[in-house]
Each structure stands twice: as structure tokens, then as C-alpha cells.
């Protein structure tokens, strides 16, 4: 070891690329694939349900953190996988010689009561048949085998038939992407190359099943998108009405701002409820496109390829969810901008009202200053008047005592002295208060 302190997740992360190995599969083969949508509680119930099946067949119980399991059961092989939103079961069994496509499906190898009680909501149910395009025979022996294309048209809907060569032409696939009377979709795969290895065949079959599963998971967002689109139409009309009302007088601005706040709250609630579903739909569609690229399709027999079918049928549905998500985000931004504009308008009006109030206060303050100056002048006059009277009484008293003091001149000189002293004193007091 290069260090004694490895990261606690080192082993788990290193083995993540080997978490779900492809099954080894050999044609002819019958496969049934089921996917059940369930939440966290549903996954716990599904795990307990799986353990019941394993105990009934005396098989070991996997560790709690196990996310996939492959076991051999009587008459079939079962592969179980736990994903974020769904649980999948893939049942495969070898096909006997001469067995028809409509004969016993692979899922019939499981106990019917156990299969009927699997927790969760069934979303994907697919029967996939793998056959050799040409069965081996002696060179001199004539071939009476029905061509793969004719078998596909008989087993599938010929009007909706989709087909292509994949795996560099080593496989031929057909499907109609329809639910048949048994409630299952159907794929028919022909092996053109007898030397194809089981691991490679299992890898391509797994990709076909993932395309079927992920396209259904991607479509879960379509009903939600349609519902959200209808609600968005109404919310956009409300926003337009509020924007028009915002051009009127400012007396209703508080009510408009309250209505915009309620509208923004509803839009954000819609976004929080459905954004995860829209993002998941886009992610699942990306997986579908990735799996189709990995098929390396080749056009054959003038049929629509899987890529063309997905582009014409699935992509518009996924684009609807993408557009609904974008509309939701755009509406949220528009409501936010309208609210900001209204708040800005209210703030400007409040600032104008504050400016007018300050102007009125300044005017009143100027008036108060003029009144104060007038009062100060009156105060100086009053102080001078009363001070002069006091000086007059004092001088008259001294004169009455026999001192030769001229009363009138002394009182006359006291008037400006008292006035100046009073004015200076009041001015100093005002400065001290203002300072």
C-alpha cells in the first residue's frame, strides 16, 4: 500500500465501474423485463419481498447495501437491480428447440403469486425473444425455417415495425413499441453471427432493455409538463393583467405588490414540485440516446430504425417537458422583474415624498429661525428695558443718598451697554446649544 491511510470510499469507488456487470447470454433465449416505480419505502418493501423468494429457494441473502443481484432459480435466471426511482427484474431462460415466440414467456418461471405481489407500480413490462437468424443445418438439407422478418411481422404489429442491424451487423432487432394483449411490449432479436460471444450478446440485450426502461422513465414527465403548461397559461395571464394594472395610479401599488408576491410564491412552489421530475426526464432521455449510439445501428430492409423512432416519437415528448421547465423558469424571472420594477417605483415615490417632507421641514426650520431671530430681538429689547429700569432705580437711590450722580446721563449710557451685553449673551448661548 502506498499509504496507511486510504480514503474510506476508495474501494467502493474503485469497484463502482463493475457494479452492474452484463449477463452472459446464449441464443436462443426468452427474456422478460419488469420495472416497478417506488420510493424509498417501496424499495425497502421490495427488498423484503426479494428476500422471501431467496429464502424459499434456500439462497443466500445479499448484504443490505447490495444494489444488484443475479441468481439461478428453477427454470430461469433472475437479475434484480435497484435504481434511484425504480426496481427492475430481468428473467431469462433457455428456449427449447421448436418453441414458438408466443410460447411460455420467461416471467412464467417465477411463482405467480410472488410476482403479483411485487411492491411498487409496474411501469415497464417487456418480453424479448432471441433467436438465431439461421439455424445450423446440413448443407444438403433444405431450409423450411420462417425468415426472421416474417416472424417479426407475425409476432409484432407490421404497420409499426421498427428494425435495424446492430453490433456491426451481428444482430438484427425488431420491435413495434406497442403493448400487446398480455400487457407486455415485445422485442425480437436475431443473431446473425453464430460466433458472437455470450458476454457481447448480453451487453447488447441489456442496452435494448435499458432503452425500453429509460424511455418510459423519461415519459413520466410528459403528463406533469402538460398539467404545468395549463397552469402556466393562467399564471402568465395573471402576470400580464398585473403588469397592465401597474401602469395606473399609485394608490393600488400595495395591493399590486401583494398580488405579485402571491404569484411569485405559487410559481416557486410549482418549480420546487416539478423541477426534479423535469430534470430526471431529460437525464433519462440522455441515457436513451447514449444507449442508441452504443447499438451502432445500420438501416436494413427499409424499416424505421430505433434512432428514427425515438427522434420522431419520444424526442417531441421530452422536448415538451424541457419547454415546460424553461417556461416555468422564465415565468419565475418575469415575476421577479415585475416585482422589482414595482418595488423600484414604490421606492422612488417614497423618496419623492421624503424629499418633499424634507423641503417642508427646511421651510419650517427657516421660518423658525426667522421667528427665533425676531424673538431674540424682542428678548434683547425686553432685557434692555428691564435692565435700564433697574439701573435707573439704582442710580436714583444713590443720588437720593446725597452723592452727586447725574441720573439721566447714567441711565442713557446704560441702555447701549445693556443691549450689547444681552445680545452677545444670547448669541453665545445659541452657539453653545447648536454646537
Cis peptide before 79 (omega within 30 of 0): no
At which residue does the C-alpha cell 445500420 appear? 298
CB distance 26 to 87 below 8 Å: no
Residue 79, strand partner residues: 70, 90
The CA-atom distances, in angstroms, between 205 and each of 94, 128, 178, 191, 200 are 14, 9, 18, 11, 9
CA atoms 261, 266, 267, 268: torsion sign: positive
What's the whole-model pTM score?
A: 0.75
Q: Per residue, what are the HEC states of the chain?
A: CCCCCCCCCHHHHHCHHHCCCCCCCCCCEEEEEEEEECCHHHHHHHHHHHHHHHHHCCCCCCCCCCCEEEEEECCEEEEEEECCCEEEEEEEEECCCCCCCCCCCHHHHCCHHHHHCCCCEEEEEEEEEEEECCCCCCCCCCCCCCCHHHHHHHHCCHHHCEEEEECCCCEEEEECCCCCCCCCEEEEEEECCCCCCHHHHHHHHHHHHHHHHHHHHHHCHHHHHHHHHHHHHHHHHHHHHHHHHCCCCHHHHHHHHHHHHHHHHHHHHHHHHHHHHHHHHHHHHHHHHHHHHHHCCECCCCCECHHHHHHHHHHHHHHHHHHHHHHHHHHHHHHHHHHHHHHHHHHHHHHHHHHHHHHHHHHHHHHHHHHHHHHHHHHHHHHHHHHHHHHHHHHHHHHHCCCCCCHHHHHHHHHHHHHHHHHHHHHHHHHHHHC
pLDDT of amino acid 1: 47
The three cell numbers of residue 328 are 416555468
Give the residue ranges of the chain where pLDDT is below 50.
1, 138, 142-144
At which residue does the C-alpha cell 447514449 appear? 290
The CA-atom distances, in angstroms, between 156 and each of 104, 185, 205 are 17, 9, 18
CB distance 416 to 373 below 8 Å: no
Non-local CB neighbours of 313 within 8 Å, separated by 6+ positions: 177
pLDDT digits (tens, 9 = 90+) for 262-318: 888 888 888 889 989 999 999 999 999 999 999 999 998 789 999 999 999 899 999
| 175 closest CA partner among 152, 194, 198 | 152
Amino acid at each position: 500500500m502506498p499509504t496507511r491511510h486510504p480514503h474510506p470510499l476508495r474501494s467502493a469507488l474503485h469497484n463502482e465501474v463493475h457494479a452492474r456487470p452484463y449477463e452472459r447470454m446464449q441464443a436462443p433465449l426468452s427474456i422478460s423485463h419488469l420495472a416497478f416505480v417506488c420510493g424509498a419505502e417501496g424499495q425497502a418493501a421490495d427488498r423484503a419481498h426479494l428476500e422471501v423468494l431467496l429464502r424459499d429457494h434456500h439462497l443466500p441473502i445479499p448484504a443490505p447495501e447490495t444494489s444488484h443481484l443475479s441468481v439461478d432459480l428453477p427454470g430461469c435466471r433472475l437479475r434484480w437491480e435497484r435504481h434511484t426511482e425504480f426496481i427492475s427484474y430481468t428473467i431469462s431462460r433457455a428456449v427449447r428447440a421448436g418453441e414458438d415466440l408466443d410460447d411460455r414467456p420467461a416471467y412464467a418461471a417465477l411463482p405467480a403469486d410472488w410476482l403479483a405481489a411485487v411492491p411498487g407500480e409496474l411501469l415497464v413490462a417487456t418480453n424479448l425473444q432471441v433467436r438465431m437468424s439461421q439455424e445450423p443445418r446440413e448443407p444438403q438439407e433444405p431450409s423450411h425455417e420462417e425468415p426472421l422478418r416474417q416472424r417479426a411481422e407475425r409476432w409484432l404489429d407490421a404497420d409499426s415495425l421498427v428494425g435495424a442491424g446492430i453490433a456491426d451487423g451481428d444482430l438484427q432487432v425488431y420491435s413495434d413499441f406497442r403493448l400487446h394483449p398480455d400487457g407486455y411490449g415485445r422485442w425480437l432479436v436475431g443473431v446473425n453471427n453464430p460466433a458472437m460471444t455470450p458476454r457481447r450478446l448480453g451487453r447488447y440485450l441489456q442496452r435494448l432493455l435499458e432503452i425500453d426502461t429509460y424511455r418510459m422513465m423519461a415519459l413520466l414527465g410528459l403528463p406533469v409538463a402538460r398539467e404545468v403548461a395549463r397552469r402556466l397559461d393562467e399564471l402568465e395571464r395573471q402576470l400580464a393583467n398585473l403588469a397592465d394594472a401597474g401602469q395606473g395610479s399609485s394608490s393600488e401599488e400595495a395591493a399590486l405588490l401583494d398580488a405579485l408576491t402571491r404569484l411569485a410564491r405559487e410559481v416557486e412552489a410549482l418549480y420546487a414540485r416539478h423541477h426534479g421530475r423535469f430534470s430526471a426526464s431529460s437525464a433519462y432521455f440522455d441515457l436513451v440516446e447514449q444507449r442508441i449510439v452504443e447499438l451502432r445501428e445500420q438501416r436494413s430492409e427499409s424499416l424505421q430504425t430505433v434512432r428514427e423512432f425515438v427522434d420522431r416519437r419520444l424526442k417531441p415528448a421530452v422536448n415538451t417537458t424541457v419547454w415546460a421547465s424553461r417556461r416555468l423558469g422564465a415565468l419565475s424571472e418575469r415575476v421577479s422583474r415585475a416585482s422589482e420594477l414595482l418595488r423600484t417605483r414604490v421606492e422612488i415615490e417614497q423618496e419623492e415624498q421624503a424629499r418633499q417632507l424634507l423641503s417642508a421641514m427646511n421651510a419650517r426650520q427657516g421660518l423658525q429661525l426667522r421667528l427665533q431671530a425676531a424673538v431674540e430681538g424682542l428678548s434683547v429689547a425686553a432685557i434692555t428695558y428691564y435692565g435700564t429700569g433697574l439701573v435707573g432705580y439704582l442710580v436714583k437711590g444713590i443720588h437720593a443718598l446725597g452723592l452727586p450722580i447725574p441720573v439721566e446721563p447714567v441711565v442713557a449710557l446704560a441702555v447701549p451697554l445693556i443691549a450689547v451685553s444681552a445680545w452677545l449673551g444670547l448669541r453665545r448661548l445659541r452657539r453653545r446649544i447648536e454646537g
